[in-house]
Amino acid sequence: MSRVALVTGGSRGIGAAIAKALQAAGYTVAANYAGNDEAAAKFTEETGIKTYKWSVADYDACVEGIAKVEAELGPVDVLVNNAGITRDAPFHKMTREQWQQVMDTNLSGVFNMTHPLWPGMRERKFGRVINISSINGQKGQFGQANYSAAKAGDIGFTKALAQEGARAGVTVNAICPGYVATEMVMAVPEKVRESIIATIPVGRLGEPEDIARCVVFLASDDAGFITGSTITANGGQYLT
């Protein structure tokens, strides 16, 4: 029987590429999303991957949503915490709401999804938790005190939990993408995009598939000795 993978924010952007790559690698995949029903329906139609709507910022909704996925597809072996949002503003203009929304989704969302799945992974002596952080959690970014703090928090969470999961066969790793050509990045004016590309040594934006391939590797049995690590996939833009 194939392993089950659950990808949060899996209906669009990087998450959609991750869901498709895991499907191609033989996993039974569930993709969660927050509110864009149209994009989710289109994604399911194109890929056959089931989509499930709930907010990762809501713990009870995560428990309920995970129970539905597991009832339909079986126990989740691979969790990819990919859902994320930005609410950018220079700090002197940042509202408490902008801070809280980003923390709730990008950091607490990772807790909310991992916590209900953790006991099952430990009991079955196998699990993969893969957290999609960001280059801006590693280096910080002007206008993103909220986002950078949450994404750095995801790396700390990864390192701590990796130590708890290791003996139970559960690995926990993070991936830090650089700038990837998703709708979000392609929406910025071309001039700004060109100026970003000029700072990337490989001379291009990342493709969602560049990140998806890292996920497929970390999810595999071949990656069983890798835990608590951070894979940096940014075209050489920031070297840790």
Query: Is 146 an interacting residue with respect to ligand NAP (CB under 6 A)?
Result: no
Min dist. Cβ of residue 120 to ligand NAP (A): 20
Least CB distance to ligand NAP at residue 78 (A): 16
The strands making up 170-177's β-sheet, listed across from edge to edge, are 50-53, 28-33, 4-7, 78-81, 127-132, 170-177, 230-233
Residue 75, token pair as written in the block: 């126990």
51 binds ligand NAP (CB under 6 A): no
Which one of 52, 147, 179, 238 is the catalytic residue? Answer: 147
Angle separating helix axes 108-124 and 145-165, nearest 10 degrees: 10
* Tokens representing residue 7 in the block: 């990808």
Catalytic residue list contains 147: yes
Determine the interface stretch with ligand NAP among 67-75, 83-91, 192-200, 215-223 (rule: CB under 6 A). 83-91
- How far apart CA 11 and CA 199 sit, in angstroms, is 29
- Of 132 and 170, which has the nearer Cβ to ligand NAP? 132
Find the part of the chain contacting ligand NAP (CB under 6 A) among 5-13, 72-80, 110-118, 225-233.
5-13
Could you tell me how many residues of this chain bind ligand NAP (CB under 6 A)? 31
Q: Is 83 in the site for ligand NAP (CB under 6 A)?
A: yes
Among 47, 134, 138, 146, binds ligand NAP (CB under 6 A): 134
Residue position matching structure tokens 């950078």? 148
Applying the rule CB under 6 A, the residues between 102 and 121 that interact with ligand NAP are 105
Under rule CB under 6 A, which residues in 13-32 are in contact with ligand NAP?
13-15, 32
- Could you give the CA distance from residue 182 to residue 172 in angstroms, rounded to a whole number? 25
Which of 84, 98, 102 lies closest to 33, judged by CA?
84
Identify the bridge partners of residue 28 per DSSP, sorted by sequence position: 4
230 binds ligand NAP (CB under 6 A): no
Q: How far apart are the first and last CA of the chain?
A: 39
- Hey, CA dihedral for 68, 18, 8, 110, is it positive or negative? positive
Q: Which residues are catalytic?
A: 147
Task: Give the binding site for ligand NAP (CB under 6 A).
Answer: 8-9, 11-15, 32-36, 39, 55-57, 82-85, 105, 132, 134-135, 177, 179-180, 182-185
